[in-house]
Structure 1
Amino acid sequence: MKTPDKITESLFNKSIEFLNKPVKEILIGGVLAGIFVSLAAITSVTVCSDMSSYFGNGFTKLIFGVVFTLGLTLIVLSGSELFTGSNLHIVSIYKDKRSIKKVFRNWMLIYLSNFIGAIILTFLVFKAGVLNDVSIQKYIINITKSKLNLTMTEAFTRGILCNFLVCLAVRVGEASEEVSGKIMGYIYVIGAFVINSFEHSIANMFFIPTGILVGSRNGIYFSWKAFFVGNLLPVTIGNIIGGGIFVGIVYYIMHSKYFNTKSASNKLRNIKGDRYENF
């Protein structure tokens, strides 16, 4: 396995490469990542929808967390683009302010394409009849209700804690060169954020719209404004802080002295005629 400083160096190199990713690659990878997270979400719901009455809430959350690991596994092994994971790339801004426009542009493209992917999967799940099961409907509605009942402070804080763990899971996965090692690392760390009901902005792009639509079929009406303003906005800001600052920047500060950051800049093509020699 890689040492912690080598993990940081590898992720730093990926942050620099992130600046030069083609828009088409980002958009396609973002849509796929939104679909993968949503697949993990609906699979977890299907598995756990009637489990708590037999095994209790604690064990049900444990299984939900293990199954939800499917999302990150598919994303990392397929090379897709997930907004929360890309928050680690904030280190390029920390190192050189000239990258700020590029990072935020790519973030916005990934965020939008993740949302499109989540909505596509929501549509397909409805058309496939997966949500016709009454226990699944009730489970989705309860998840939506619990998320929309959070205060903005709770949503923001849970967003920080969620992406702190998600980006730590990325670091854990980066430590191993073996697929089995990566997956084992994801299970424990991703499981922790799911078990504790922390808030993931991209997962919520599937859970809450699906819950709103299922609820309306059952005479329960949730507010789209509550989704966008009361949940998605504070959760997204929290995710950026939890992953970008508490993981990305903190570990870069800890370990950058152990590797040569100039080697990463040599991989860059010209960005508007300006090469990032100062990284």
Structure 2
Amino acid sequence: MAMNNDQEDHQNKQNDDFEVPLNEKVDEPGRQFYIPSQIVDEFGEKGRDHLYKPFRSQLLLALTAGSFMTFGAVFSILLAIGVEAKGVSHLLSGIGFAAGYAMVFISGSVLFTEINVLLPSYLFNKGGLRKKSIYQFWASAYIGNILGAFLVAVFIQLSASLSPKFYSELAVFLDHKMKFMESGMIGWFEILVSGILANWLIGMAAFLTTAARDITGKFLGTMLPVILFVAGNFQHSAANMGYFSMGILSSNQYAWYEYILFNLIPASIGNLIGGGILVSLLFSYAYKEDLQTNTGNTD
């Protein structure tokens, strides 16, 4: 009986040694992602960093981003050639275009539709905004994206690397994107709404990519929303710059001004609304208190 009591006392002592005090936290593994308020804050920081770069850097990074859009457009078409099943075709096209966006996000290039998220985040959450600079940056990003997309399309055409099957598939893609032209003003409005949806998704691609803390997570975060917007035929102006640049140089299917008037302009307006309001403003307002706490501003 005495031996049993000794064993019980020994067991109780062991339990006391392993008991965690109530006022101490148990160590937990570090998170492999940033929380939403940190992501919104990072958006503002990135927007400020882009805005205060020298103009030559802004323009060069915009040219680079536009070039990646054409590479992504070409890859999306190449992967879809000969694929009859629509679901598989959409999946492969989305994966192809995600390659272009991954290069943009990870290289820090300046894409018009991405800064529709970053600059409003800076506007909502950071001080010292220079309006003249922000308008100039927006314009340089848009023009730089167009020039970069067209320049790569010229190089691709000069290389004579692509087969006739590619151009047949390109014609299908262009018809899919320009179908709204047949509906006149109603089609113009439809493109605008489609543009809102497109940049809502691309804003979330930027959100997920920023959340990830390793390269694999960044690729996956980019890929999922991009596959969705490609499959849904949502009109994304920067993406369409790549497709249209190839179309202008390879066929007379549509005139260059038709691409601009009946797609790029309404899509761009929609992209501004989708990125600025449905991503940047929405999350900035939702996490306003957390952002004020992080920056030490409690007013």
For residues 129 and 284 of structure 2, the distance between their equivalents in structure 1, rounded to whole angstroms, comes to 18
Aligned match for 1:68, one of 85, 97, 102:
97
Once the 2 structures are TM-superposed, how far is the Cα of residue 16 of structure 1 from its aligned partner?
2.7
Please tell me whether residue 26 in structure 1 is matched to residue 62 in structure 2. Answer: no
Once the 2 structures are TM-superposed, how far is the Cα of residue 58 of structure 1 from its aligned partner?
1.3
Identical amino acids, percent of aligned pairs: 26
Question: Equivalent residue of 2:130, what SS?
Answer: helix
CA contact (8 A) 1:92 1:99 kept: no
For residues 288 and 214 of structure 2, the distance between their equivalents in structure 1, rounded to whole angstroms, comes to 25
For residues 249 and 190 of structure 2, the distance between their equivalents in structure 1, rounded to whole angstroms, comes to 24
Question: Equivalent residue of 2:192, what SS?
Answer: helix
CA contact (8 A) 1:141 1:214 kept: no
- The aligned amino acid for 1:101 is K
Unaligned runs of 5+ in 1: 266-278
CA contact (8 A) 2:177 2:233 kept: no
Aligned match for 1:79, one of 108, 112, 117:
108
Judging changes above 3 Å, is the alpha-carbon distance between structure 1 residues 65 and 178 closer, same or farther for their aligned structure 2 residues?
Answer: same
Please tell me whether residue 139 in structure 1 is matched to residue 175 in structure 2. Answer: no
- The one-character-per-residue Cα deviations of 1:33-88 (angstroms, maximum 9, x if unpaired) are 11111111101111212222xxx111110111112111111112111111100101
CA contact (8 A) 1:16 1:264 kept: no
What does residue range 147-226 of structure 1 map to in structure 2 within 5 Å? 147-150=177-180, 151-216=187-252, 221-226=253-258
Judging changes above 3 Å, is the alpha-carbon distance between structure 1 residues 193 and 262 closer, same or farther for their aligned structure 2 residues?
Answer: same
RMSD: 2.1
Question: Equivalent residue of 1:149, what SS?
Answer: helix
The aligned residue for residue 246 of structure 1 is 278
For residues 163 and 10 of structure 1, the distance between their equivalents in structure 2, rounded to whole angstroms, comes to 19
Once the 2 structures are TM-superposed, how far is the Cα of residue 18 of structure 1 from its aligned partner?
3.0
- TM-score, normalised to structure 2's length? 0.81
Of the structure 1 ranges 89-98 and 42-51, higher mean CA displacement relative to structure 2 is found in: 89-98
Of the structure 1 ranges 176-185 and 147-156, higher mean CA displacement relative to structure 2 is found in: 147-156
- The aligned amino acid for 2:274 is G
For residues 192 and 215 of structure 2, the distance between their equivalents in structure 1, rounded to whole angstroms, comes to 33
- The one-character-per-residue Cα deviations of 1:104-139 (angstroms, maximum 9, x if unpaired) are 2101101111111101111011111134x2211111
Matched pairs, number: 258
Unaligned runs of 5+ in 2: 1-32, 181-186
